[in-house]
Amino acid sequence: MMDTLDAIPLSLLLKPVDGTRQPHVLLIGPYDPKGGEYTFLAPPLGVWRLAGVLQRSGIPTRVFDPNCCAASPETSLAALLRQPWDVVGISTTGMTLQYDLALAHLTRRLQPAARLIVGGMEATFEPEAVMRLGPFDLAVLGEGEEPLLAIVARLRASSGLEGIPGTAWRGPDGAIQRAHGPALTREGLRNAISETPYEQMPYEQYWERLEASYRIGSLPVKADREARLSEIRSVRLITLNYCPMGCTFCSSTNFLNAAQGSTVKISRLNVPECLTMIQRIVRAQPRVRTIIFQDDIFVFRKDDRVLPLCEAIVAAKRVGEIPPDLQFISTNRIDAMTPERLAALRRAGFRVLGFGVESFSVEILREFNKAQIHARIAPVLEEALRLGITPFLDMILTSPGCKLTDLAENIRQAFVWIVAGCEVGMYPYVIPFSGSAMARDAARLPTTVFERRHIAGTDLSWNQPAKILPLDADTRAAILRIEARFERELLNLQRSVSHLPSRVRSYLWILSAVQEMDGPRHSLPSQHDVTQALRTLLPEFEPATDLGPLSRPQVADGSKAAFRPHATGVAGLGQR
Ligand code: B12
Ligand code: SF4
């Protein structure tokens, strides 16, 4: 694979190729003002990949990352907008949408003449709603590389932007029209990945911020400091276009299909291409300690890449082509793991493997279209732990159709596996992300909760579906009480502890559950056991029992006032 950006100095890339002025492009990543609290923040890979491709074509392109700027995002963006831009592109996700839209409106106010383009998850699944709420000229559906190049070509030719494949636009009657566009070919994907300008991406700034918030310098034990640094100094690499497994709560499984209007072929980098990217990342970000393969699914059940890739990494480390202590993390399907693959991954330096386990209840898994993983969970976790790999499990504690027994099964098993050495990230219920099968159903469910979103700097608001609660009244009441207690426990702890690792949060969820459910009836661990487990991490920990009685949860009795009926079609993005 050609190492494109290394070969061409950036100053040359930014020069017009044929003497005519190239359109100047500014790309804005999704804005998450709460970032860092719940997730590991990282530079927005999507817009950086687009910037690499545009720069490679000689188009002056800059990325504005609202999650990483010296002043407030609004002030920093306003400063950038003092120079004229021909195209400003805004990236969107469901959870960041109201903030993304606020930046779009600010941009429109400060640069009325710029072409304002919206892209990313929310623009792809809900172009009508996004274009109604934002001042956009065009929405890009799916991967942005080809549509953006076409937009720039049209601007150069002074022609209109209507009808570009992979976009949606407002027709003369105001209705949104769309033209599906094909997903990138394997070669297109490979080139786009290889053109990602890792050397320009401000990883160092993200790391410094995280190191400060984790107070790394004040950790007394060197081993702890080293472990945290490996966690923080990570760079993300995506080598796959999408995962076709079709879990019902997942939006990304439908992303490219929605943009293309038909089923997209799977494409991913091969072993030598992966190796080249690893080397590039190490050259671009020499202080990197961990590379996170952020593919939606890193190993398929039938997979001819994982074993040769692990061998190639081991060989490259041996001859010094990549640092011998470089570590890896990947996100995986648990039913794709075998003892042989786990051992190979361990040898190559994979120290954490993420598994979308979601639930230990086979009934919930069936609802998630994931029942086939159930029998594989325990054997794979046991083997991974035996090999010294930390499994990181993502869990959704309830589903729309679940019962108290399913919730209890999740709490029981989560406790067992955390004590055994797993990390667990827990979400209390399904969030109906646009584009997922469950978001379509959410429109009809009486237990979908909507939240009012307001776009700062405008008088625009709308109701966005925020959670799907269990249909069963007892389970719904239980998860809401658990959530309320968890939030109060968290608040209590955050007063004294600067950073709470996922393990502490998971124990807090479990503690909240055992306090709010009938423990003996469901064979839950005792409050004493969970408190003791928490004290191994936070010796001073005391449950927040002095916080008084919990207020009655909003929808515990299924009262109509709490559930806003959904009246505006798919995913409820309709403006009210
Ligand atoms: C890695 C990842 C993260 C990482 C890093 C994110 C980052 N800053 O890069 C972390 C852990 C920090 C993270 C956090 C969050 N994430 Co996240 N994340 C992902 C993941 C797994 C990969 C994203 C990625 O890099 N994709 C690869 C790039 C190349 O693709 P892309 O971003 O989609 O961009 C392409 C197109 O969308 C398009 N495009 C994108 N933007 C634009 C803009 C323009 C103008 C144009 C023309 C085109 C365009 O072109 C790009 C190149 O082809 C996705 C799942 C997925 N498969 O996408 C979830 C995902 C995007 N995250 C999601 C969410 C909800 C979040 C959070 C809001 C969660 C939270 N509450 O904290 C935060 C938001 C933080 C933030 N500031 O962005 C959801 C979004 C759901 C939805 N339908 O909107 C996803 C889909 C996962 C899921 N299904 O639940 N995330
Ligand atoms: S396996 Fe993961 S990425 Fe694939 S469809 Fe399911 S949740 Fe989505």
Find all residues with CB under 8 Å of 328, minimum gap 6, and list them: 290, 291, 292, 293, 313, 345, 348, 349, 350, 351
Q: Is 455 in the pocket of ligand 2 (CB under 6 A)?
A: no
Round to whole Å and give the CA distance between 53 and 526. Answer: 55
Percent of the chain having pLDDT more than 70? 88
Summary count for the chain: helices (H), strands (E): 22, 15
Lowest-confidence segment of 5-19, 214-228, 356-370, 514-528 by average pLDDT: 5-19
- In the reported structure, the alpha carbon of residue 93 is separated from the centroid of ligand 1 by a whole-number distance in angstroms of 6
Q: For residue 437, which phi and psi values (nearest 5 degrees)?
A: -60, -40
Find all residues with CB under 8 Å of 536, minimum gap 6, and list them: none
Q: Is 38 in the pocket of ligand 1 (CB under 6 A)?
A: yes
Mutate to test the pocket of ligand 1, among 91, 253, 267 (most ligand atoms within 8 A of CB): 91
Q: Which atom of ligand 1 is nearest to the CA of 95?
A: 68
Mutate to test the pocket of ligand 2, among 252, 294, 298, 433 (most ligand atoms within 8 A of CB): 252
CATH architecture of the domain formed by 4-181: 3-Layer(aba) Sandwich (3.40)
Q: Please state whether beta strands 87-92 and 25-28 pair in parallel, antiparallel, or not at all (unpaired).
A: parallel
Name the residue type at position 6: D
Q: Is 296 in the pocket of ligand 1 (CB under 6 A)?
A: yes
Looking at the CA of 39, name the nearest ligand. 1
Task: Give mean pLDDT, residues 130-157.
Answer: 97
Confidence band, pLDDT 50/70/90 cuts, at residue 457: very high
Q: Is 568 in the pocket of ligand 2 (CB under 6 A)?
A: no
Supply the pLDDT for residue 573: 23
Q: For residue 486, which phi and psi values (nearest 5 degrees)?
A: -55, -45
Provide the 8-state DSSP code for 336. G
Say if residues 397 and 426 touch (Cβ distance below 8 Å): yes
Please, which contacts does 519-528 make with residues 24 or more away whose CB atoms are closer than 8 Å? 522/404, 522/405, 522/408, 522/411, 522/412, 523/408, 523/412, 524/408, 524/411, 524/412, 524/415, 525/411, 525/412, 525/415
Supply the pLDDT for residue 39: 57
Round to whole Å and give the CA distance between 1 and 347. Answer: 25
Q: Is 67 in the pocket of ligand 1 (CB under 6 A)?
A: yes
Task: Give mean pLDDT, residues 187-197.
Answer: 98
Highest average pLDDT, of 12-21, 91-100, 490-499, comes from 91-100
Nearest CA to ligand 1 atom 67: 95
Q: What angle do CA 499, 505, 509 make, to 5 degrees?
A: 160
Of 421, 370, 375, 372, the closest CA to residue 395 belongs to: 370
Supply the pLDDT for residue 70: 85
Round to whole Å and give the CA distance between 142 and 44. Answer: 16
Task: Give mean pLDDT, residues 135-139.
Answer: 98
Provide the 8-state DSSP code for 375. H
Round to whole Å and give the CA distance between 431 and 502. Answer: 19
Lowest-confidence segment of 223-237, 420-434, 438-452 by average pLDDT: 223-237
Asked if pLDDT for residue 2 goes beyond 50, the answer is no
Q: Is 481 in the pocket of ligand 2 (CB under 6 A)?
A: no
Round to whole Å and give the CA distance between 559 and 31. Answer: 34
Confidence band, pLDDT 50/70/90 cuts, at residue 497: confident
Looking at the CA of 357, name the nearest ligand. 2
pLDDT of 23-72, one tens digit each? 999 999 999 887 654 555 799 999 999 999 999 999 999 999 999 988 99
Q: Is 181 in the pocket of ligand 1 (CB under 6 A)?
A: no
Q: Is 423 in the pocket of ligand 2 (CB under 6 A)?
A: no
Higher pLDDT among residues 241 and 493, named by residue? 241
Mutate to test the pocket of ligand 1, among 34, 88, 93 (most ligand atoms within 8 A of CB): 93
Residue 379, CA atoms < 13 Å, CB-side half-sphere: 10
Mutate to test the pocket of ligand 1, among 252, 358, 430 (most ligand atoms within 8 A of CB): 252
Of 56, 55, 136, the closest CA to residue 92 belongs to: 136
pLDDT of 517-576, one tens digit each? 988 999 999 999 999 999 998 888 888 764 444 443 333 233 222 222 222 222 222 221
CA distances from 122 to 68, 127, 176, 571 (A): 22, 7, 15, 10
Q: Residue 529 in 3-state DSSP?
A: helix
DSSP, residue by residue, 403-444: -HHHHHHHHHHHHHHHHHT-EEEEESSB---TTSHHHHHHTT
Q: Is 243 in the pocket of ligand 2 (CB under 6 A)?
A: yes
Supply the pLDDT for residue 73: 95
pLDDT of 88-102, one tens digit each? 999 999 999 999 999
Confidence band, pLDDT 50/70/90 cuts, at residue 282: very high
The domain locations on the chain are 4-181, 184-332, 355-576
Of 98, 97, 116, the closest CA to residue 107 belongs to: 116
DSSP, residue by residue, 214-257: TTGGG-S-HHHHHHHHHHHSEEEE--BS------TT-SHHHHHH
Round to whole Å and give the CA distance between 138 and 345. Answer: 43
Say if residues 513 and 411 touch (Cβ distance below 8 Å): yes
Q: Which atom of ligand 2 is nearest to the CA of 242?
A: 3
Asked if pLDDT for residue 409 goes beyond 80, the answer is yes
Q: Is 253 in the pocket of ligand 2 (CB under 6 A)?
A: yes
